[in-house]
Amino acid sequence: MAKFDGRPILISGAGRGLGEGIAKHLASEGAIVGVADVNGNTARDVTAAIAASGGKAFAYEADLGRRQAFFDVAEAFARDAGPLRAVINNASVLVYEPIEAVTEETLDRMLSAGLKSVFWGVQAFLAHRDESVGGNILNYSSPVAYRGRPNTGAYTTIKAGIAGLTKVLAGELGPRGIRVNAIAPGSVPTPATEGFVTPEQYEQRAKNIPLRRNGTPQDVAAAVAFLLSDEAEFINGAMLAIDGGIIAAG
């Protein structure tokens, strides 16, 4: 039997990058995946690829920084696939710039996609989850929450907030049988980072990572699958670094 045989798992921001890789991997492990993204075309491309590989997935186009939009997606997914077993709050907007360059528009957009969507994702999951079994909430933080990396003020603030919120929710929702954890992926080249990190910069990053390489979407997807699996049933409130040792080595 597949690891997630028939379990409905909703993923925000799954139209490309790490979210896409996670969606495809979980589907290959038997999950029914809800691929939610502000870009409906990329979401549909991901579900089509999953279907072509024999998996099952549904695509939803929505601005998940809006509470009602996230609730509508969760309701539709529960109708299509059954009560939710897990939600992965992966959506974010990535902008690197000096603190004096941060505009109100940029900050609002980043907070909406990267932080508000986590609150709405948790609430939507609670409203549409399968209450007959334990549940899983997995949030997406980052090594920048633990290290002062220049020009990442807005992004770091969001990811540090998610790290703190994960701990709160682990204590708050644990008594209800819901595990809440977070991942902190390190340097992983994806389409979302192309405009901010050059191939040369990724090459330099690899030289400073203890394992001497950048990560891959598959590295992240495998770790996510573990945290959501029954093998991790006593792990709650953890922050799993998937970074080759960046946080540990400083």
Residues labelled catalytic: 155
CA atoms of 229 and 5, how far apart (whole Å): 11
Token pair, residue 88, equals: 């992965």
